[in-house]
Amino acid sequence: MKTLSHIVLALYLLVIACKEVDEFIPVQEAIPFDFSKEFTNATDTLSYHLNLIEPIIIRTPRGTEFVFKPNMFTFTNGDYCSCEKVTIELIELDKKRDYLVHQASTISNGKVLISAGAYHIAAFYQGKPLQLSPDHLACFWSPADKLDPAMQLFFGYRNGTEFNWEPAERTSTVSSITPGQWQYNDTTSFIVGYQCFSDRLAWINVDKYVSDAPKNSVCIKLDPRYTVTNTVLFAILKKEQSILSLNYLGGNGFCLASIPVGTEVIFVAIHKQADDIYELAAETVSITENHFQSLSFNTKSFTDIKAF
């Protein structure tokens, strides 16, 4: 009887233990974080409905002027398009916020760029995407505070979460950029900027490389719960129009290959913890040799992050 009592007691304890285990709350899995989708606005994309029976110039809020002409488009398979009525969609990157939320990192094959303005151009006929006809170029004038002869034309390419700008001179023999000045419909004072010709509709950027100062690789190691799935990190050059994404390299953390030594940088990290619960870290530093960087996070709401 004593042995039987021991067995009954053991079974009772086992049942109780299992019940307690069943009531444990599992560790919450990381929430996927589509940063661009969550923080871009519908107004970021400008739409123009054109009747291309004659050349038309459109002017964006930033003051960029695009020229569109009859017969300049075909369908993407090369078929002829009458294209009497065309919809043009433009994304114009002007402020640092624009580069940030569209994750258009200003970097070309590991080299840091400074931007004077970037754009994404797309054209549609009855909802079908278009491309430029072989004998046409997209022409636009991009305004600038001052002219810089070092500026070049770049084309942007996205591969997953990574973004890279390729110099137009490597992939095109006809695309070009020329500094100068112009008037808008002969009704304004002269505008300073760059006249650009592009042989494609895509991401297009007016950029230059940063100086040849010594560069420094920077990696930021975070707690393991901060991963590429739920966290984005950026390095924002404080005095220049340059936004750099840090790539997630597993055990090495989030890394950037080359930031010029002596550059003032704002490191920004945004982590999604749950619906409408985020964490934000922002640290302003001057890059030094063998730079080490740590970040301190604070809980923020969606509204807080957008305001930042």
Greatest CA separation for the chain: 108
Q: Tell how far CA 118 is from the center of its chain.
A: 11
- The pLDDT assigned to 18 comes to 42
Q: How far is CA 170 from CA 152, 154, 167, 173, 175, in A?
A: 12, 9, 6, 8, 10
Task: Give me the sign of the Cα torsion angle 163, 166, 168, 173.
Answer: negative
Mean pLDDT, the chain, as a whole number?
87
Is the pLDDT assigned to residue 271 strictly greater than 90? yes
List the beta bridge partners of residue 28: none
Q: Is the pLDDT of residue 249 over 80?
A: yes
**What's at 115, amino acid-wise?**
S
Say whether pLDDT at 8 is over 80. no
pLDDT (0 to 100) of residue 119: 97
Domain ranges of the chain: 36-209, 211-307
- The pLDDT value recorded for residue 29 is 61
> Is the confidence at residue 7, as pLDDT, over 70?
no
Tell me which residue of 273, 283, 167, 297 sits closest to 234, measured CA to CA.
Answer: 283
Task: Give the pairing type, strands 128-132 and 203-209.
Answer: unpaired
**Given this model, what pLDDT does residue 106 score?**
94
What values do phi and psi take at 67, rounded to 5? -110, 130
Sole residue written with tokens 């100062």? 213
pLDDT at residue 27, as a whole number: 47
For the stretch 114-161, pLDDT in tens is: 999 999 999 999 999 999 999 899 999 999 989 999 999 999 999 877
pLDDT at 28: 53
Pick the CATH number of 36-209 from 2.60.220, 2.60.40, 2.30.170, 2.40.50: 2.60.220
- For domain 211-307, give the fold: Immunoglobulin-like (2.60.40)
Residue 24 in this model has a pLDDT that exceeds 80: no
- Please check the confidence at residue 258 and state whether its pLDDT lies above 90: no
pLDDT classification of 256: cutoffs 50, 70, 90: confident
pLDDT of residue 184: 78
Tell me the C-alpha to C-alpha distance, in Å, between residue 85 and each of 71, 129, 153, 242.
Answer: 11, 13, 29, 37
Confirm if 280 and 297 have CB atoms less than 8 A apart. yes
H or E element in which residue 11 lies: helix 2-22
The tens digit of pLDDT for each residue in 81-115 reads: 988 899 999 999 999 999 999 999 999 998 899 99
